Amino acid sequence: MKLVLAYINPFKLEEVRDAVKATGASGMSVTNVEGFGRQTGHTETYRGAEYDVSFTPKLRIEILVSDSMTPAVVSAIETSARSGSIGDGKIAVMPLDDVIRIRTGERGEEAI
Amino acid sequence: MTHPQGGIYERLRRSARNPIVRKNVAVLMTGKMIGVGAVLMLIHWFSGTAAFAADPAPDPVASVNAINTMWTLIAAFLVFGMQVGFVMLEAGFARERESVNILVEGIADTCICGVFFWAIGFAFMFEDGNGFIGTHGFLLQGLPDTYGATGVPLLAFWVFQFAFADTASTITSGAMVGRCGFVGDLLYSVGVTGFIYPIIGHWAWGPDGWLVAKGFHDFAGSTVVHTIGGTISLAGALALGPRLGRVFKRDGGGPMLPHNVIFGATGGLILWFGWYGFNPGSTLSALDVQGIGRVSFNTTMAACTGGLGALFISYARTRKWELGLVTNGFLGGLVAITCPCYWVSPTGAAIIGLVAAFVVIWGLDLLEYVRIDDPIGAVPVHMMAGIWGTLSLGLFATGEFGAPTPLGADVSAPLAGLLYGGGMDLLIAQAIGSAAVTVTVFVIAMVLMYAVKATGTLRISEAGEIEGLDRHEHGISAYPEFVTHAAGPILSHGVGTMPGRR
């Protein structure tokens, strides 16, 4: 079992959601995040003063997947979130020790 | 046991040395003196008024009617207040990323409108010339002290009409929200408030307009303000195309979500309030007492039935009582009653408002079907309900009311519509006027919008649109504190910080 963690451009959310759904993944979570990478922030202007906003808004997506589904989900995000310009984001894949569905107490792949 | 008087004396001495007590006493005494002064002033004023009442001074400018001037100015200020309603309605029903842009545009359009309506607009619209355009009074030069036979000073009348022109100008931006570049907005706004609105408006409201001669009537501007504004807005939306990522209903999408429905609805209610200047004020006469009462009533009733109509239509469709639709519904009722408000009965007003609710909702459906992105519904509410309202006069005019005059109602030439035994004449005149204005404005506005498009300023760049109009064009988001700031202002190329700012 894997945890797929992706940081994507906010305007790509719909496409990524549709692509992930199409792979048959059972769900995903989305969080608003801000940060910097190669793409640094921007400036805001107020009454003539410029403010350095070092962080760019992004979305963090978390998906729990079985090992067999992992390549499909990762490539779905990769293709749907790509615009080709700087700031398209990153995908990370991490091993999972266990998954528990709280309502039923199911464990492991059954709970995904 | 201390002597009581000595005790008081001691306490006074102590208190007088205490700076806090001294300050408090000073404040108290100053307050009392201001109060006494105010009372004396009031007595002075009232005795002065009484003296005038007993011995009226001769009116220095006999043609000026003071109460009509007051009425017109109060109405003008109410109509100006509609700007608040418009920017709130538009910003609330738009996305957060384009709401600062709406505010800057609303303010800039108002300022442009003031300058251009003073320089050329008023002359084009309200002064003599020919049936199509006024040719006198540029920069308001060489005009008499009062406007026509209204008894209202020219400059007061100008302020009232400026507020109307500004309304048309702001309506225009409605369907163009979210992707129109700021420079493009400035350019087309000059075209709208300097030329299109005043010149086409002259046809219906000018002293010698050709539509006036045809028997066309538009009391407060269903056609002149709302159809013109909404039609230009439609041309703008067509020239721009939809916002990036806008998917229409027939393609499995729907309107982009608004960012603050509370702003949207309160903005709508402020517009309703401002409409009490727009319609009743258009009598320009407080002495037509039945007239201003009737117009106020009809305005209220059409808004109520328009709102109720839209509310129940929304429930019938989605099983939800929708805020966005009820707001657009009462606004549609208000737009529709703007033309016929002086000449129809309460029943007529109620029916006109109710029909407007259907016009607005079907209009929204139609735009969605033909894939036109109108983020706040400016085209159905202003253009389509405006056309309906203009035509409705030809059906519902009761045959009892003629025109307001500075000293009261003139019923020598009452208007009667088809349903009140007046025959087809008025309906035909209304249809000709509405069609002539709508078609002409649409053609001219398409030329204007494509001309601005040719300069490359009408639509914002794709990168700018993805970043959001607010940050791209204006350098700030509507709620800057919601963005995580690392530092304060850049004092010199990124080295400065302002402590205390998140």
**Residue-wise over B278-308: b if at least 16 C-beta within 10 A, else e?**
bbbbbbbbbbbeebbebbeebbbbbbbbbbb
Round to whole Å and give the CA distance between B247 and B265: 24
Residue B19 pLDDT: 75
Residue B125 pLDDT: 97
Mean pLDDT score, A83-110: 93
Return the amino acid letter for B251: D
* Residue B170 placed within a domain: yes
Residue B430 pLDDT: 97
Nearest to A52 among B245, B476, B490 (CB): B490
- How many residue pairs from chains A and B have C-beta atoms closer than 8 A? 50
For A51, nearest residue in chain B (alpha carbons): B489
Distances (CA, A) of B376 to B230, B446, B460: 11, 20, 19
H-type alpha helices, B55-119: 66-93, 99-116
- Domain boundaries defined on chain A: 2-32+58-111
Nearest to A44 among B466, B476, B494 (CB): B476
Task: Find which of A13, A50, A86, A88 to mutate to test the B interface (most B CBs within 10 Å of its CB).
Answer: A50
* Residue B46 placed within a domain: no
Residue A11 pLDDT: 87
Nearest to A43 among B466, B477, B490 (CB): B490
Percent of chain A at pLDDT exceeding 90: 66
What three-state secondary structure class fits B143?
coil
* Residue B87 placed within a domain: yes
Residue B483 pLDDT: 63
Whether residues A43 and B245 touch (CB distance < 8 A) is answered with: no
The answer for residues whose C-beta is within 8 angstroms of residue B101's C-beta and 6 or more apart is B177, B178, B182, B469, B470, B473, B474
Residue range A2-32+58-111 forms a domain whose CATH class is alpha beta
What three-state secondary structure class fits B253?
coil
Whether residues A45 and B490 touch (CB distance < 8 A) is answered with: no
**Three-class HEC string of B192-207:** HHHHHHHHHHHHHHCC
* Residue B242 placed within a domain: yes
Q: How many structural domains comprise chain B? A: 1
Round to whole Å and give the CA distance between B94 and B259: 6
Whether residues A52 and B486 touch (CB distance < 8 A) is answered with: yes
Which residue is listed with tokens 């204006």?
B474
Whether residues A46 and B474 touch (CB distance < 8 A) is answered with: no
For residue B310, the distance in angstroms to the closest alpha carbon of chain A comes to 31
Task: Find which of A13, A51, A83, A86 to mutate to test the B interface (most B CBs within 10 Å of its CB).
Answer: A51
Q: Which two tokens stand for residue B203?
A: 């046809």
The HSE-up count of residue B197 (CA atoms within 13 Å, CB side) is: 34
Residue B484 pLDDT: 60
Residue B482 pLDDT: 72
Name chain A contacts of B257, Cβ cutoff 8 Å: none
Residue B39 pLDDT: 66
Whether residues A54 and B488 touch (CB distance < 8 A) is answered with: no
Residue B116 pLDDT: 97
For residue A50, the distance in angstroms to the closest alpha carbon of chain B comes to 5
Name chain B contacts of A46, Cβ cutoff 8 Å: 475-476, 480
E strands of B277-407, at which residues? 403-405
Q: How many CB atoms lie within 10 A of CB A22?
A: 11
Record the pTM: 0.82
Task: Find which of B103, B246, B466 to mutate to test the A interface (most A CBs within 10 Å of its CB).
Answer: B466
* Residue B325 placed within a domain: yes
Neighbour-count burial of B49, counting CB atoms closer than 10 A to its CB (0-12 exposed, 13-18 middle, 19+ buried): exposed
Q: How many helices (H) and strands (E) does chain B have?
A: 19, 2
Percent of chain A at pLDDT exceeding 70: 100
Residue A34 pLDDT: 87
Confirm if B466 and B175 have CB atoms less than 8 A apart.
Answer: no
> pLDDT 10s per residue in chain B (502 long)?
445 555 667 777 777 777 777 777 777 777 777 777 776 666 565 554 444 444 444 444 457 899 999 999 999 999 999 999 999 999 999 999 999 999 999 999 999 999 999 999 999 999 999 999 999 999 999 999 999 989 999 999 999 999 999 999 999 999 999 999 999 999 999 999 999 999 999 999 999 999 999 999 999 999 999 999 999 999 999 999 999 989 999 998 889 999 999 999 999 999 999 999 999 999 999 999 999 999 999 999 999 999 999 999 999 999 999 999 999 999 999 999 999 999 999 999 999 999 999 999 999 999 999 999 999 999 999 999 999 999 999 999 999 999 999 999 999 999 999 999 999 999 999 999 999 999 999 999 999 999 999 999 999 999 899 888 998 999 998 988 776 654 445 544 433 333 333 3
Residue closest to B216 by CA, chosen among B395, B428, B411: B428
* Residue B24 placed within a domain: no
Residue B499 pLDDT: 37
pLDDT at A41 over 90: no
**Confidence class for position A85, pLDDT limits 50, 70, 90:** confident
* Residue B58 placed within a domain: no
**Residue B71 belongs to a domain with what CATH number?**
1.10.3430.10
Residue closest to A83 by CA, chosen among A18, A13, A4, A2: A13
Name chain B contacts of A55, Cβ cutoff 8 Å: 483-484, 486
Q: How many residues does chain B have?
A: 502
Say whether the ipTM exceeds 0.95.
Answer: no
Domain hosting residue B382, numbered range: 66-454
Task: Convert the pLDDT of each residue in A15-31 to its tens digit.
Answer: 999 999 999 998 999 99
Task: Convert the pLDDT of each residue in A49-58 to its tens digit.
Answer: 888 877 888 9
Return the amino acid letter for B14: R
